[in-house]
Amino acid sequence: MNDAPTLVQPTRSRPWRRARRSLARAKWPLLAMVILAVVTIAAVVGPSLAPKDPNRQNVIARLQQPMTPNRAGKVEFQLGTDGLGRDVLSRLIFGARVSLLVGLNAVVIGGALGTSLGLIAGYFGGKIDDVIMRIADIQLAFPFILLAIMFLVVLGPGVMNLIIILGIGQWVIYARIARGQTISLREKEYVEAARALGAGTCTILFATTLPNILAPLTVIASFNVASVILSEAALSFLGLGVPLTVPTWGAMLAESRDQLLAGRWWLAIFPGAAIMLTVLSFNILGDWLRDFLDPRLKQTS
Amino acid sequence: MKILGLAAIGTALLFGTAHAQRPGPDTLVVAQTTDPDSLDPAQIRSRDASNIAQHVFATLYEVDREGNLSPYLAESYAISDSGTEISFKLRSGLTCDDGSKLSAQDVAYSFQRAADPANRFTGNTPGFVLDAVHYKGVRVDDDLNVTILTNEYSPIAVGLLAETFIHCKAPYEKMTLARAAQTMVGSGPYRFVRWDRNDKVVLERVEGFKLRPAPFKTIVWRDIPEASTRATELLAGNVDIITNLSPDQIGRVNASAAAKSATVPGTRRIFVGFNQKPEFAKTLGGAAIQKVEVRHALQYAVDVPTICANLLQSPCRRATGLVNPPNDNKSLTPTPYDPAMAEKLLDEAGYKRGKDGIRFSLTLQGPRDRYINDTNIELAIGQYLSDIGVETKVEPMEFASTYSPLIRLHNAGPLFLLGSGGGTWSALYDMADIVAPNGGTNYTEWNDPEWFDGWKKINASRDPVAQKAIIDNMQRVFYERGPWLLLYFQPNYYAVSTKLDWAPRSDEMIYLYDAKRK
């Protein structure tokens, strides 16, 4: 009989190992992560990756097809040029920055605001709950894109305004989930125990309850990034996103409208594919996260 | 199978709807780029709105395709010896759409209503015509004779007065200004049926109107701002004529069996205005463009022939002023593209590049989807100016509701891109944009004394040769010190259904009197 003490793995490392195994088994989430990693790298180190200044015009070289060699036989514009002779590849790389910046920041703002309000509504209940949830209902009654257009017309286009408006537009979804989860947790023994030990309301909300409702919120956030990126593209397409000098995928799509009829496919295909792949990747990752963090949801769905 | 069936029904419905939108043989559909901002005859100013209105409202005279005056509601005119009284003799038996008789009182009312400061109209008649003819008042001589009184003689007064839409007093006196902006009670070959905002204006033939032919029972003027949508609607057969066909789509249109492009040299002067309004002088850039040396330097910064060749796909000669050929001053040569010269002149004017490479900053405002490839042209100009150290922020705007009011109130800028309709029938017509320092169409509020002295000299002269010399000198002043960054005369790109016989005009006026189905 071996009396030597058994080595116990720290419990914190197990979810990561489980996650790695799960990712290796399911190939699509892995592919989604690779795509998102590429987009993230493009967003972070875009200026050093991009072959040209994305706003530099060269009207003589406008509307060049992808991989068109110049007189010296060298391909200058790998993905072609747009109506002003700007390099499509460079604009695509810089566009990733705006998409991710807006997508992630808006979700952080909406998530933080919504989760806090949801926790408060769920924990206190009564009139506080009524007021917060009625405000949420009122906001839901407005079509979001209309609300965003209204605010952007008043505030003017710009990355910061876009992030704030898209962020504020997302809080309801987090508030409703956080509220529902908090209501089911507030009578749990460990919450009672924290209260009995003299923990303050803030501690109970953010240190005791919040960690236990993070899983569904994380899943929602991953889907939400995708929908915010789509909203940013839609608003930029309508000319309400960011100024014309900031390249975004939505604005690139908008600029391609006049050229589609003339058969300049590359102006729509590349930004369209970038939006589609990024949104799809976030959705696939969200699906996987949902299955991974709460397998019961998979059965329900 | 059920799903397939539903999809088939949906598709059939969609195609059915598309087919239902096609105009019938007695309906003509024209797609323009902007919706009218008003239908009030005294408030209409844009070319698109005028094209609609000139089928509803008749005028005293009309300028034809060749630039000649032809009688319309008036059968003749006479100018007094002093040149300050222009009398028109009306045809007899004229009526308005509501059945009321159209007499000299109604003609007088059309001018008085437009000139009434209480109405605060800023349309073509009060904002351009009345300024340019030095309008003083109007006198009714009898039922068929009316005299326009002016403060000064103007050699082009009759041509200018021919732009005023004549309407009857009775219906317009009953209407509030708000109501008058939404409907039209006219005097021409078509009557107003309805206006669906941002969609279409529908007109219907006035049976029995004899002064002009009205070959179609219904004319629908659609507002389709986006170039590719206009072209698609034409190719689908839902529209007969489109304006401002994108040059990039000419090949696609001509390759189709549904439509063909029609290009004519245009008279619209596209320029970048340097707004001289004192409010704009509060910034470094705004103050800089008030100086002649800076405006002169910036002329060298923009490569106009390259813009024309690539963004308009049409070679052009850079404009030397605001007057269309052949009336322009032939001794002036287009400013060449010479960024080094621009930089040198800016250095000499005291605007050297800072450590960040910037001399001063400016905002260039402009319309979106109003002129051919306008947004790209604004961005290209922004790039050219930024290249010489004038950091330029480009702000394209929706035309009818956002940009047009800014222009009208002289609040666009400090740089603004604009296209001003012109003509070839007289140099003075083109020059009349800047007839007074506070004139409605002097959007830059330029107030060069030599220019305005020139107007006085022209109006004091009756000798065409002497007038030509003054006109040429004024064009030289404009070339050297003017408030425009001179660009080009915009070619007109139309596309017309192959089932329609219609030819465009160079002045962008769309008259459908001579259009017919093949």
pLDDT one-digit tens code per residue, B327-343: 999 999 999 999 999 99
Is B392 part of the contact surface with chain A (CB cutoff 8 Å)?
no
Instruction: Give dist(CA B513, CA B101) in Å, integer.
Output: 24
Q: Are B75 and B61 in contact (CB under 8 A)?
A: no
Contact status, residue B266 vs residue B508, Cβ threshold 8 Å: yes
Exposed / middle / buried, residue A30 (Cβ in 10 Å: 0-12, 13-18, 19+): middle
Is A258's CB within 8 Å of B227's CB? yes
Run of H or E residues at B517: strand B516-517
Check whether B3 has a pLDDT greater than 80: no
B231: contact with A, CB 8 A cutoff:
yes
- Residues B133-138: contacts with CB under 8 Å, at least 24 apart: B133/B157, B133/B160, B133/B161, B134/B459, B135/B111, B136/B84, B137/B112, B138/B107, B138/B108, B138/B111, B138/B112
From the candidates B242, B310, B403, B493, which should be mutated to test the interface with A, based on the most A CB atoms within 10 A? B310
Q: CB of B14 within 8 A of CB of B236? A: no
Per-window interface: A 68-127 vs B, CB < 8 A: 83-85
The answer on pLDDT for B196 being more than 60 is yes
Tell me: the pLDDT tens digits for B109-148?
Answer: 999 999 999 999 989 999 889 988 999 999 999 999 999 9
Tell me: the pLDDT tens digits for A157-198? 788 888 998 999 899 999 999 999 999 888 888 888 888 888
Q: Does A245 touch chain B (CB under 8 A)?
A: yes
Q: What DSSP character marks residue B119? A: G
3-state secondary structure of B252: helix
The continuous run of DSSP H or E covering A186 comes out as: none
- Bridge partners, residue B365, by sequence: B395, B416
Q: Assess whether pLDDT exceeds 70 at residue B17.
A: no
In chain B, the residue whose alpha carbon lies closest to the alpha carbon of A60 is B310
Question: Per-residue pLDDT tens for A130-141?
Answer: 999 999 999 888
Instruction: State the pairing for strand pair B241-242/B27-32.
Output: parallel
Q: Identify the bridge partners of residue B11 per DSSP, sorted by sequence position.
A: none
pLDDT: is B39 or B10 the higher one?
Answer: B39
Out of B226, B310, B383, the one facing A257 most closely (by C-beta) is B226
* Predicted local distance difference test score (pLDDT) of residue A298: 55
Per-residue pLDDT tens over the stretch B408-448 = 899 998 999 999 999 888 899 999 999 888 888 999 999 99
Q: Which of A59, A258, A263 lies at the smallest CB-CB distance from B380? A: A59
Whether the CB-CB separation of B159 and B426 falls below 8 Å is answered with: yes
CA dist., res. A233 & res. A212, Å (int): 34
What is the per-residue pLDDT for A66? 94
User: What residues of B are in contact with residue A239 (Cβ under 8 Å)?
Assistant: 368, 396
> CA Rg, chain A, in Å?
24
pTM: 0.82
Beta bridge partners of B262: B494
- Nearest CA-CA distance, residue B369 and chain A, Å: 11
How far, in Å, CA of B306 to CA of B337, rounded? 9
Identify which of B477, B438, B469, B474 has the alpha carbon closest to the alpha carbon of residue B455: B474
Q: What percent of chain B has pLDDT over 70?
A: 96
Q: How many CB atoms lie within 10 A of CB A57?
A: 22
End-to-end CA distance of chain A: 49
Q: Write the ipTM.
A: 0.76
Amino acid B92 reads: S
The nearest alpha carbon in chain A to B368 belongs to: A239
Looking at every residue in chain B, the average pLDDT score rounds to 92
Q: Please judge whether B394 and A244 are an interchain contact, meaning their C-beta atoms are less than 8 angstroms apart.
A: yes
Among A187-201, B64-78, B389-403, the range scoring the smallest mean pLDDT is: A187-201
Q: What is the model's pLDDT at position A301?
A: 45
* Distance, CA of B409 to CA of A16 (rounded, Å): 65
Question: Could you tell me the sign of the dihedral formed by the alpha carbons of A86, A87, A90, A93, in that order?
Answer: positive
CA angle centred on B114, ends B111 and B115, rounded to 5°: 85
pLDDT at A1: 43
In this predicted structure, which of B6-15, B50-59, B188-197 has the lowest mean pLDDT?
A: B6-15
Residue A149 has pLDDT above 80, yes or no: yes
Q: For B258, phi and psi rounded to 5 degrees?
A: -85, -30
Find the range with the poorest average confidence among A281-290, B36-45, B281-290: A281-290
Strands, DSSP E only, in A134-193?
Answer: none
Q: What is the distance in angstroms between the Cα of B328 and the nearest Cα belonging to chain A?
A: 29
How far is CA A153 from each of CA A240, A244, B102, B289, rounded to the nearest angstrom? Answer: 7, 15, 46, 29
Residue A83, min C-alpha distance to chain B (Å): 8
**The residue to which tokens 């040149």 are assigned:** B83
pLDDT at position A182 is 92
Cβ contact A18:A273 at 8 Å: no
- pLDDT, position B506: 85
CA distance B384 to B394: 12
B254 touches chain A (CB under 8 A): no
Average pLDDT of the segment spanning B56-71: 89
What does the pLDDT read at residue B438? 84
> Residue B21: what pLDDT?
65
Distances in Å between the Cα of B392 and the Cα atoms of A123, B314, B359, B386 are: 53, 26, 11, 6
- Reference A252, options A53, A40, A55, A46; nearest CA is A55
Q: What angle do CA A20, A26, A29 make, to 5 degrees?
A: 80
Least confident interval from A36-40, B13-17, B23-27: B13-17
Q: How high is the pLDDT of residue B439?
A: 85
- pLDDT mean over A104-108: 92
Q: What is the pLDDT of residues B463-513, one digit of tens each?
A: 889 999 999 999 999 999 999 999 999 999 999 999 999 999 988 899 998
DSSP for B282-303, please give it: GSHHHHHTTSHHHHHHHHTT--
CA–CA gap between residue B365 and residue B381 (Å, rounded): 11
Q: Which two tokens stand for residue A203?
A: 């501690």
Task: Note whether A7 contacts B: Cβ–Cβ < 8 A.
Answer: no
Q: What is the DSSP letter of B101?
A: B
- Chain B CA closest to residue A263: B252
Residue A92 pLDDT exceeds 80: yes
Homologous superfamily of domain range A27-55+77-298: MetI-like (1.10.3720.10)
pLDDT given for residue B91 in this prediction:
96
Query: Quick one: pLDDT at residue A297?
Result: 55
Q: What is the pLDDT of residues B86-109, one digit of tens each?
A: 999 999 999 999 999 999 999 999
- Helix (H, G, I), strand (E, B), or coil: what is residue B107? helix
Q: State residue B273's pLDDT score.
A: 97
User: Do the Cβ atoms of A62 and B226 come within 8 Å?
Assistant: no
Phi then psi for residue B390, to 5 deg, are -100, 95
So what's the pLDDT on residue B15? 44
Mean of per-residue pLDDT scores for chain A: 85
- CA of B426: how far to CAs of A174, B330, B471, in Å? 68, 15, 11
Confidence (pLDDT) at A26: 77
Instruction: Catalogue the E-assigned strands of B4-96.
Output: 27-32, 61-63, 69-71, 74-79, 85-90
Phi and psi angles of residue A283, each rounded to the nearest 5 degrees, phi first: -65, -45
Is B307 an 8 Å CB contact of chain A?
yes
| Residue whose C-alpha is closest to residue B471's, from B264, B326, B261 | B326
Residue of B nearest to A61 (CA): B310
Task: Give the nearest partner residue to A261 out of B252, B307, B393, using CB atoms.
Answer: B252
Q: Is the pLDDT of residue B264 over 80?
A: yes
| Cβ neighbours, 10 Å, residue B13 | 10
pLDDT at B75: 95
pLDDT tens digit string along A204-259? Answer: 888 888 888 888 888 888 888 888 888 888 888 777 777 777 888 888 888 888 88
Return the number of other C-beta atoms located less than 10 Å from residue B285's C-beta: 22
